[in-house]
Structure 1
Amino acid sequence: MINVLIVEDDPMLAELNKRFVNKIDGFKVECVANNGEDAIKKIDDSKIDLVILDIYMPKIDGMELFRMVRSQNKMIDFILVTAANDTEKINEALKLGAVDYLVKPFEFDRLEKSLLNYKDRKNLLVKKPFVEQKEIDKLFMKSYKQEKEKDLKKGLHKFTLNRIMKFLKENKDELLSSEVISENMGMSKVTIRRYLDYLDEIGSVEKKIEYGSRGRPSYLYKYKNSSTR
């Protein structure tokens, strides 16, 4: 179980974050602090693995608290939350070792992705004494892929993308051609290919070449299990 400290001066937002984090498998909110001083006491008195930290806090602000904990060499990770997206603070947060940086207002699914990515990383590093490059790449490239998923190419629609992904997932044991997907979904082959090319680009499908009797290649697609949480 990953023990979490939420540091947020807005009581309502702190409670919402607490309820949300507790719903995610493998996480438990150990305590909540409404200011920097209280957060320091809770870090000293409790077993904390991860701090979800608002930067702008009364008494001791979030960046100062972050620096203090780092100077003490405590094995605690931080996800920073702030209404500011200035590059100076982001740069400092990254240099201090923040595992993520969320800018308010953020959607809860973005926080969920951050937490699940953190859990994957922690589980890998705890359970295995040595890791391969491909396992490291999977962790560090995941956030890149998630950002690409947020920014769809012009002309693509999230609803259609989700429909195609749902169909691929339901048939995840099969290699499917764009023609087969087109027939089953009642959409044109041209449209299907555009979405499949995009899914291949962001690493959400496996793409294999199949050569016909005349040597003309065609592509087959399969849902990539490694892209699931």
Structure 2
Amino acid sequence: MQEIYKVLIVDDDPMVAMINEQYVCKNKQFKVVGSCRNGKDAIEFLEAHPTDLVILDVYMPDMDGLETLKKIREKKISSEVIMVTAANDVATLEDTLHLGVIDFLIKPFAYERFQIALEKFLANRKAFRDSAILNQTSVDNIITNSTKIASKEYPKGIQEKTLLLIRDYFTENISPDGWFSGEAIAEKVGLSSVTIRRYMNFLVGSGEVEESINYETGGRPSVLYKKSL
């Protein structure tokens, strides 16, 4: 069964907080469990409710994001943090990186970039889970994992934005047995069948998607796809 991670959103702007919540909920491995308008309330929430990930704004009243991040570390709260800010000064970036944030997003950021930040969190969790016994290779994999995700290169003809569209299709749609035809995917996401076939070949090759052939169509066999467990 797929693990669901709990997320707290901390931002004094209700509209930004709502958008961030919508972005989080697009990924079915995450669930928003709370929203706070300042750092003080966030610390109280985190002390009372175990939370996996915090989406934390920098500029807030009472206690800003940087001070909140310091408190999270001082109190040894185990939550990971993605920092969100309109600031683009190097000092703020350096301070947050020293305090061990998963990622640093500068407003306004695109949905696709937000999802990459969530993927970094997932990749780190998987790396630690898969490294029951530490050796140099496993340590190197954990330390460099975020960089690999952020700088991921795809084969010619494969674009990150289109991949996200197709991944969203699998998380947002339901079929009785979990299988979808290439034609159904193409129609829903607005791409040609040829394009979908190219992307599905990539996802099958990377292990994200399973492939099967339906010979009971009464005509040309249909290729079916299902998200891997």
Same fold by TM-score greater than 0.5: yes
> Which of residues 61, 66, 81 in structure 2 aligns to 1:58?
61
CA 1:167–1:14: 2 relative to 1, 3 Å: same
Tell me, in whole angstroms, the C-alpha distance in 2 between the residues paired with 1:11 and 1:226: 38
Q: CA deviation at 1:88?
A: 0.6
Match of 1:76 in 2: 79
CA 1:138–1:82: 2 relative to 1, 3 Å: closer
CA 1:165–1:122: 2 relative to 1, 3 Å: farther
Tell me, in whole angstroms, the C-alpha distance in 1 between the residues paired with 2:58 and 2:48: 21
Q: CA deviation at 1:18?
A: 1.4
Q: Once the two structures are aligned, what percentage of the paired residues are identical?
A: 31
> For the Cα contact (< 8 Å) 2:102–2:120, is it kept in 1?
no
Q: Which amino acid aligns with 1:144?
A: S
Q: CA deviation at 1:37?
A: 1.6
Match of 1:225 in 2: 206
> Which of residues 123, 141, 144 in structure 1 aligns to 2:148?
141
Q: Deviations over 1:146-172 (max 9, x none)?
A: 7x99xxxxxx9x79x989985543445
CA 1:73–1:138: 2 relative to 1, 3 Å: closer
Q: Deviations over 1:1-49 (max 9, x none)?
A: 2111100111122122112212312111110001122111111111111
Q: Which amino acid aligns with 2:148?
A: M
Match of 2:199 in 1: 169
CA 1:19–1:36: 2 relative to 1, 3 Å: same
Tell me, in whole angstroms, the C-alpha distance in 2 between the residues paired with 1:65 and 1:138: 25
Q: CA deviation at 1:224?
A: 5.8
Q: Deviations over 1:107-165 (max 9, x none)?
A: 1111111102211211231244036458445543221237x99xxxxxx9x79x98998
Q: Which moved more, 1:2-11 or 1:128-137?
A: 128-137
SS in 2 for 1:59: coil
CA 1:139–1:57: 2 relative to 1, 3 Å: closer
Pairwise mapping of residues 71-150 of structure 1 onto structure 2 (< 5 A)? 71-130=74-133, 132-133=137-138, 135-136=141-142, 137-145=144-152
Unaligned runs of 5+ in 1: 150-155, 174-222
- Which has the greater radius of gyration? 1
SS in 1 for 2:84: strand
SS in 1 for 2:81: strand
SS in 2 for 1:145: coil
Match of 2:47 in 1: 44
Tell me, in whole angstroms, the C-alpha distance in 1 between the residues paired with 2:149 and 2:63: 33
Answering whether residue 18 of structure 2 is matched by residue 11 of structure 1, we say no
Tell me, in whole angstroms, the C-alpha distance in 1 between the residues paired with 2:202 and 2:151: 23
Moved over 6 A (4+): 161-165, 226-229
Q: Deviations over 1:174-200 (max 9, x none)?
A: xxxxxxxxxxxxxxxxxxxxxxxxxxx
Q: Which moved more, 1:119-128 or 1:76-85?
A: 119-128
Tell me, in whole angstroms, the C-alpha distance in 1 between the residues paired with 2:86 and 2:63: 17
Residue-pair matches, total:
173
Tell me, in whole angstroms, the C-alpha distance in 2 between the residues paired with 1:86 and 1:56: 13
SS in 2 for 1:84: coil
Tell me, in whole angstroms, the C-alpha distance in 2 between the residues paired with 1:107 and 1:14: 15
Tell me, in whole angstroms, the C-alpha distance in 2 between the residues paired with 1:49 and 1:171: 33
TM-score (norm 2): 0.64
Unaligned runs of 5+ in 2: 164-190, 210-226
